[in-house]
Amino acid sequence: MGLFLKDPTLEPELGALTAAMLEVMTDRGPDSAGFAIYGEGLPDQRKLTVRGADLDGVAEALGPEIAGVLRDTHLVLSIPALEECRVRAWLAAERPDLAVTGAGQRIELYKEVGLPADVARRFGLGGMSGTHAIGHTRMATESAVTTAGAHPFSTGADQCLVHNGSLSNHRSLRRTLEPQGIEFSTDNDSEVAAGYLTWRMRQGASLAQALESSLEDLDGFFTFVVGTENGFAVLRDPIACKPAVMAETDQYVAFGSEYRALAGLPGIESARVFEPEPARVYAWERH
């Protein structure tokens, strides 16, 4: 699912709307859930969302200039931009048991094993605000039920992806991307898709251009919902065998694997509801 707000007056409700959309999709993915939410950020600050056990004292150990907000099994570190490399090096050396799930100026990324409603409640999603969010509920059909395997996946600053489908060439793509500096923490094909977009955008492509290139370079069937610092995009493969529906009003753009995920949104009765076309990039951005 994804929700991109055009109307700033809805921003305080973003978390509650996202949580409701996730819960509706429970029977499509009851074993784990995750979401990325884009809230406030400062140009000279970075956020690192860190996941793991024994998070008490981590922010304090990093120094007085580092602030931390603990949400269940995740800790959001707010750090001066110039300190990001030092913080990452400290985490790698002193706390290799912790995983960085997301990083950037505005993104916070949370995911866990469990029913979507429980995951949303544990992290306090209903009380969060922001401009846009993407989320995913998972039924692990090709791998174990783990937190690391849950979506979203993030491989670049303020960028993340959720995926419905399967890629057949993700192993060969991984071997191409790793020498280019794209790092992966799981064997999930969705993380490779996220890494591919990061790589293309580092080469100067826009999000829309990177998604267009993926139609040539990614084999398989897929629906992608992607978030960046200011943007939101959707792409289906040329066959488009996975279900997808979108709704647009003057206040928002929303995506769901099924219409029922959108049914509780404000003003949905007057929205333009449509099925995204195969092999067409749909993208929105706030400036």
What is the per-residue pLDDT across 31-51, written as a single tens digit (0 to 9) for each? Answer: 999 999 999 999 999 999 999
What residue ranges define each of the domains in the chain, with the CATH number in brackets? 2-39+129-285 (3.60.20.10), 41-105 (3.30.70)
Cβ atoms 64, 126 nearer than 8 A: no
Cβ atoms 18, 108 nearer than 8 A: no
pLDDT-derived band of residue 14, with 50, 70 and 90 as boundaries?
very high
pLDDT-derived band of residue 176, with 50, 70 and 90 as boundaries?
very high
Average pLDDT over residues 181-190: 93
* High-pLDDT (> 90) share of the chain, %: 94
pLDDT at 287 over 90: no
- Rounded to two decimals, the pTM is 0.95
Average pLDDT over residues 5-28: 97
DSSP 30: B
Q: What is the pLDDT of residue 200?
A: 97
pLDDT-derived band of residue 208, with 50, 70 and 90 as boundaries?
very high
- Helix/strand/coil for 93: helix
What is the per-residue pLDDT across 96-146, written as a single tens digit (0 to 9) for each? Answer: 999 999 999 999 999 999 999 999 999 999 999 999 999 999 987 767 888
Task: Record the tokens describing residue 16, joined without a space.
Answer: 């509650």
User: At which residue do the structure tokens 């809230």 appear?
Assistant: 39
pLDDT at 286 over 90: no
* 250 CB-contact burial (10 Å; exposed 0-12 / middle 13-18 / buried 19+): exposed
CA nearest 153: which of 197, 115, 202?
A: 197
Cβ atoms 257, 2 nearer than 8 A: no
